[in-house]
Chains A and B, each alone.
Chain A
């Protein structure tokens, strides 16, 4: 059977990038923007962090020790700026110019993945490594530092305390987002903007401002998911296309969690587990190709949830009413 003490930490490790992406996309969608560019944003978030840390490691030199604060802050700030720019581009196109959100989002994903692979490839060339990847192990060591006493606590430490700080930050961000949406005036206004922009506008809420801010913050959160993936989960190794389709999974998660960041915490870990469960089926059985079927599980689960929520038809569980539509006040 599956060994839970090793399985759960791996599921959480897989789940955290999804959680960042999902929280970011929930905030974005609550403002009525359907940002399908999230996979691209996560790529950009990751590669921006990688570029920052690559330059910092090189400037310090191979022999000298890194400054812990700078080793963490430089990639973080680079990652946030990178994904913020992606968010601003998306908002400028869809909110200011009122371009079609789906087309813009898909273009952003294509662009983001290409951007990541281009600069990733360049860095690989620059580092002159034999393998097609950049290893930033020294920076990664700072990101994956876990609590010092975690090792002494047996299974409890392994399951709950063995992660780098970005994992905990992801959960905190999701909790804050959940509280903000439900219990604050900003959250109420944000939901109103996504449900009925003309209503929100008539109530004196600046629709463009909320859309911009929510989408940009959403992108920055999603970008951190990319950073976590490279720096912590992948131990600082960037190789092109390694991030895979996690961005799409994060968007699927938004539907699965019925737009609730609190549910996203558990759902992302569940999806993380489903994402890697194929590694844990007994090996040596006759039909190893069945493994591929296991990889489908997260998507099948999302479809099932979609069917169930549509059938139950509870208004609160539906997507924001004006999701995917741009708003223009003087349009009649």
Chain B
């Protein structure tokens, strides 16, 4: 290995938010011409650490050196001047402005859109980006927005590039394209830091990994010399098993029967077209499909949040009596005694109220209970406490607003609340999106426990490997149509992948 030049050195960096320690005495080097993967569980302080490099936060103590020179980064402007650029997990773009306007935002000098546009085209040609500089951000797809973010960083002449979970929202093809660009930039001599939870990405992209745990620096190693198991153990601090168990379904009986369901969205576009399936008790029904193929509408239709055009949704009780769920709102469904839990895709939009604390969020499910006009606050507080304990939620206390927690912890609270009502049906959409590997396995485990209790689980997922490991049966959606239902134990990844892109998949039987 040739001698490496440290582009950035962090020495004893500490940062606290109130009583929460986000980073404690972190030491880290970032080298030129290298891709460093920064690993850690949710809330282990990866993003906070990188935010201190990009000038968003200011460290409480510690020292940062760039190219060997000690520097003080007080604000993002200082960071740009030092050649540090960060692509944030939640894009920092203004919707109503064009790509060019967003890229030149914050720079000095006379406003010259034409000149800037020309320079942007030049950068795009160099690295092979496809961006229309005059397009408004709100017209762009997620991957286009991300491209704009990267161009923005390059436009400022960044030598040190930080990407915070860049692939969370990309399709596999888009991810591959991004990685190609990142490798090209590495070969160009730039220092690159990538924060990600996906182990196979770490293995295929990075040269070195550094691990944080509970805000502390644990260590680093060459990617070639390690593996997913070792990295995960380092992140979690003890050995974990990376297997998803799949217990045999116990006495499966039809619980939800959907027949010929057709749903249109607000613009009148057909999102679900003639969908029929059965979800059995004690079984996990996986839903696969490219995102936006009707998964959201399907779950919402069952939960009573989405109006159906035609078709029927029936709930079959344990004693065999049948209730129709169609045309009923969630309250009416609950009044019928149908216990249905829904973990929506949009956690802080539909699932929880960000500004309310843990206990109050628990109460969202139970506030109607009780005879007196006053709400019962004790039970939700107790529930919140037990969820925090059982699921290892990292939070200062149960009176912290939910939005202050990291994504994984928010998800644990939501899932914890939903399963606490001991449902008969559990609907989950992208239950592990944005979660670190350990939290993900905790969630899988929780879902499996529900299955063993005889709950009918509908599990919408994006990671095919996981779907194939956890589901008993997999329903594949393609453009709102049922492409097929396959057995999770015998199905093959390629077959499901083909069915996702073409109704029925390849006919090879």
List chain A positions with a Cβ less than 8 A from chain B: 183-185, 188-189, 191-192, 195-196, 198-206, 315-316, 318, 321, 329-330, 332
Q: Within the complex, which residue of B95, B104, B403 is in contact with A332, where a contact is CB–CB below 8 Å?
A: B403
Complex CA distance for A191 and B137, rounded to whole angstroms:
15
Q: Convert B10-23 into 0s and 1s, putting 1 for each residue whose CB lies closer than 8 angstroms to a CB of A.
A: 00000001000000
B92 near A202: Cβ-Cβ < 8 Å? yes
A196 to B102, CA, bound (A): 11
With both chains docked as a complex, state the minimum distance between the C-beta of B138 and any C-beta of chain A, in angstroms.
5
Closest 8 CB pairs of A and B: A203-B106, A204-B77, A204-B106, A199-B92, A203-B105, A185-B111, A204-B76, A202-B92
Residues in A with CB closer than 8 Å to B96 are 191, 195, 315-316, 318, 321
Q: Known contacts A185-B110, A202-B88, A332-B17; decide if A315 and B105 are in contact (CB<8 Å).
A: no
Check A201 against B108 for contact (C-beta < 8 Å): no
CA distance A315 to B101 in the complex (A): 16
Q: Is the CB of A200 within 8 A of B106?
A: yes
Known pairs A201-B56, A332-B17; A192 contacts B105 (CB<8 A)? yes
Contact B57 A330 (CB under 8 A): yes
B448 proximity list for chain A (CB < 8 A): none
Contact A191 B110 (CB under 8 A): no
Q: A192-B97, A192-B105, A202-B92 are in contact. List 6 more A-B contacts (CB 8 A).
A: A185-B108, A195-B94, A199-B93, A200-B105, A203-B76, A204-B79
Q: Which residues of B contact A200 (CB under 8 A)?
A: 94, 105-106
Chain B interface, number of residues (Cβ within 8 angstroms): 31
Of all chain A residues, the one with the shortest Cβ separation from B47 is A332
With contacts A183-B111, A315-B136 taken as known, whether A199 is within 8 angstroms of B105 at the C-beta atoms is yes
Closest CB-CB distance, B349 to chain A, in whole Å? 16
Contact partners of B375 in chain A: CB under 8 A: none
CA distance A185 to B111 in the complex (A): 5
B-to-A contact residues, CB < 8 Å: 17, 54-57, 75-77, 79-80, 86, 88, 92-97, 101, 104-111, 136, 138, 403-404
Query: Are the CB atoms of A330 and B17 closer together than 8 Å?
Result: yes
Asked if residues B111 and A205 are in contact (CB atoms below 8 Å), the reply is no
CB distance from B408 to the nearest CB of A (A): 14
Residue of A nearest to B79 (CB): A204
Rounded to whole Å, the gap between the CB of B109 and the closest CB of chain A is: 7
- Give, as a whole number of angstroms, the nearest-CB distance from A11 to chain B: 33
- Residues of B within 8 Å of A330, CB to CB, are 17, 57
Interfacial chain A residues near B77, Cβ < 8 Å: 204
Q: Can you give 11 contacting A-B residue pairs, CB < 8 Å?
A: A191-B94, A192-B97, A195-B95, A196-B93, A201-B75, A204-B75, A205-B105, A205-B106, A206-B75, A318-B96, A330-B17
Residues of B within 8 A of A184 (CB): 111
Minimal beta-carbon separation of A331 from chain B (angstroms): 8
Q: Is the CB of B404 within 8 A of A196?
A: no
In contact, B56 and A321 (Cβ under 8 angstroms)? no
- Residue ID in chain B nearest A321 by CB atoms: B95
- Does A203 contact B95, Cβ atoms closer than 8 Å? no
Shortest CB–CB separation between residue B203 and chain A, in angstroms?
30
Select one of B76, B79, B93, B111 contacting A188, CB under 8 A.
B111
Q: How far is the CA of A152 from the CA of B56 in the complex (A)?
A: 63
Residue of B nearest to A330 (CB): B57
